[in-house]
Amino acid sequence: MKKLLVIALCLASFANFAFAQDELVSHYQTLDEAYIKYEQLGWQTYEFYVLTNFEEGEALSYEWTIDNKETFIAPKLRFFFDQGDHVIKVKVEDKFGNVQYDTVRLGVRFWSLKNNWFWWGLYLVVILIILYYWVAKIVYLLNRKKVSKEVRYFLDVLDEHGWVERVIAEHVKKKEQEKTPKKGN
């Protein structure tokens, strides 16, 4: 019976030691890894953050450097870049003075799918093409007999369903009916 009690006490002390050791290791965990991750929020706007071997909320200090010119101290960084190539560096330090560094190179170009100016410009070009087509088509239909055969053929192909022609024909017919005096009054 004494042997069982001694074995049980040994196992219990060993379990407490293992638990205390795990708690000690987690309490004195050192910074081993730090990697910059980023997300493009807009055309030239990015948000940067760091992934480490620490859990979220651990006491770490972050020092961000943009193009070796501007320095920021924050866990996350949101920055608006000019066009061109940029270098983003981070220095991460834990409470014991262990330091990790990471660097990211970023190219900000005008021809980006997140560039709102590009999309508005493309939209404007499409609208102008559509307006030009309709203005040219209406002018053509109002002056159809005055244009050459080739122009008539080309513009008729663009309006194969004849919708514009019908609308203008109805408009012309209505105007002619308004001009002719009514008999019987």
> Is the CATH number of domain 34-108 2.40.50.100?
no
Beta strands in 41-185 (DSSP E): 45-52, 60-66, 70-72, 77-80, 84-94, 99-108
| Secondary structure of residue 5 in the 3-state scheme | helix
Q: Where are the domains of the chain?
A: 34-108, 116-179
Pick the closest to residue 89 from 100, 71, 103 (CA basis). 103
Residue in the block written with tokens 């203008």: 168
What does the pLDDT profile of the chain (185 residues) look like in tens digits? 666 555 655 555 555 554 544 454 455 678 888 999 999 887 788 999 999 988 776 789 999 999 999 999 999 999 998 888 999 999 999 888 899 999 999 988 776 666 677 788 889 999 998 888 888 777 777 776 777 777 766 666 666 666 666 777 788 888 888 887 766 55
Residue 51 CA to residue 34 CA, distance in Å, equals 6
Task: Provide the pLDDT for residue 13.
Answer: 59
CA torsion, ordered 27, 28, 31, 32, to nearest 10 deg: -110
* Residue 26, phi then psi, degrees to nearest 5: -70, -30
